[in-house]
Amino acid sequence: MEHDTIAAIATAWGESGIAVIRVSGSDAIAYVDQLYRGKEVLSKVDSHTVHYGKIHHPRTGKLIDEVLVTVMKAPRTFTREDTVEISCHGGLIPVEEAMKALLTMGVRLAEPGEFTKRAFLNGRIDLSQAEAVIDLIRAKTDQAAQVALNQAEGRLSRLIRQLRTEIVETLAHLAVNVDYPEYDAEMMTSDFLQERMSEIHQRIEGLLQTAKQGKIIREGISTAIVGRPNVGKSSLLNVLTQENRAIVTDIPGTTRDVVEEYVKVRGIALRLLDTAGIRETEDVVEKIGVERSKKALETADLILLVLNASEPLHTEDRRLLTWLQGKTGIIIVNKTDLPQQVEWDELKLLASDLPLITTSLVQEQGVEELEQAIADLFFSGRVVDQDATYLSNARHIALLEQALSNLDEGMKGIEVGIPIDMIEIDLKNAWQALGEVIGEAVAEDLIDQIFSQFCLGK
Ligand code: GDP
Ligand code: ZN
């Protein structure tokens, strides 16, 4: 396949040790040859070799930078096209100049994700691997990166392929049975079919169950800190983040906005929201914060309710404690360094089964216990499994759910005695849905949509 030659700066924008321009396409080597002056002519060198030289502007002859050029010939490259990588010195000017020189010669600036798109279109990777590259770029935590990496290596693809093979095998048995009803060497009884289908069903369900944990690993546990003004919400946020991004003051209600902060607790990423408190207020400025806080509360995975041990319970504390029942939450009774006035017996009753931790945030006491309680809630205290394949992509989840419902339908059909060859359609649909996860039989526009999510140079 002929492809025009594209280029993009592949390293992060800004100051760095080196900056890499990636050029890919049928004429990639020829284009770079026009800029490059070194011992060799690049079109004559062996594939997968690195060459020192200088880049000059092709028209003005002006020296742009000293570079290392890596020449990689198709098909053993990421895009399966001829690819050249030019490593310039860091800083904006040399790469920008080199990039401009390439573009004036007729190389096209790559669209976001276009390199990965070519890798996919040229059969180098499948769709779920391509999507994993997006995840890898966006990964916010080490685990998320590991999960994405596993997927990029094709773990999910392998599982999906196995499931598809099993469906095809089942379909094959089915075909034998339909074509030769008297052939009884391997009779496709409805029991046998039911069994195969429920096996496949179970495995898809298992994969879907990892979705929730996958989301947690990838996006972090969205965590809302709530409580009356001045109980220590911002202090908690600060202790957890160990920096002072949220404003801590003695004036009630000074946290004006929802502040987001990521922290890692026992290997789990928490996306912390410091809310303006959920107290009804007439203060207009604060109201914006309060409105947003309520929204944050509705969608939070975890709620940390902070109470003040040095004061008796307020009506609002009681209201919050009641409201917290049935949610995933932890009660933090703060300021234990001060004389205590909180009604412990009533508090324990109101807390019911929710974990209750005592802290003195000014003295950084109780933080370990809090972290352990969080870990216990989400992973039963276990360390996050780095090797597992976690489903984390909304499109994959929808497709697997689709496959599940196809199987459900088929199994229901068997129960009510629908002719077995009708079940074939449900099995084929399930097979199709699974195929879409790895990009077999995917509509063109869907492919464009997926690749447009990439950043440039990937
Ligand atoms: P928020 O309004 O709930 O965010 O509360 P802040 O975190 O802004 O804390 C309000 C005040 O209480 C600040 O002066 C904190 O230094 C103080 N504070 C927070 N935690 C403790 C604690 O454990 N003990 C004591 N004595 N003071 C605390
Ligand atoms: Zn605050």
Q: How confident is the model at residue 178 (pLDDT cuts 50, 70, 90)?
A: low
CA 418, distance to chain mean position in Å, is 42
Cβ–ligand 1 distance for 293 under 6 Å, the answer no
pLDDT value at residue 150? 64
CATH architecture entry for 6-126: 2-Layer Sandwich (3.30)
Q: For residue 102, is pLDDT > 80? A: yes
**389 carries a ligand binding annotation:** no
334 Cβ partners below 8 Å, 6+ apart?
231, 232, 235, 236, 306, 307, 308, 309, 358, 359, 360, 361
Letter for the amino acid at 92? Answer: L
Nearest atom of ligand 1 to the alpha carbon of 306 = 3
Quickly name the fold that domain 232-275+285-379 has.
Rossmann fold (3.40.50)
100 Cβ partners below 8 Å, 6+ apart?
none
Cα end-to-end span (Å), the chain: 20
| Residue ranges covered by each domain of the chain | 6-126, 142-215+391-441, 232-275+285-379
**Average per-residue pLDDT in the chain?**
78
Cβ–ligand 1 distance for 179 under 6 Å, the answer no
What DSSP assignment string belongs to 171-234? HHHHHHHHH-TT--TT---HHHHHHHHHHHHHHHHHHHHHHHHHHHHHH-EEEEEE-STTSSHH
Q: For residue 250, is pLDDT > 50? A: no
Strands 108-109 and 6-9: parallel
User: Rounded CA gap, 147 and 137, in Å?
Assistant: 12
For residue 157, the CA-to-ligand 1 centroid distance in Å is: 50
pLDDT in tens, 203-217: 998 888 776 666 666
pLDDT in tens, 59-73: 888 899 899 999 999
Among the bound ligands, name the one nearest to the CA of residue 252.
1
Q: For residue 456, is pLDDT > 60? A: no
Cβ proximity of 14 and 34 under 8 Å: no
Q: Is 142-215+391-441 assigned to CATH 3.40.50.2000?
A: no
Cβ–ligand 1 distance for 253 under 6 Å, the answer no
Q: For residue 382, is pLDDT > 70? A: no
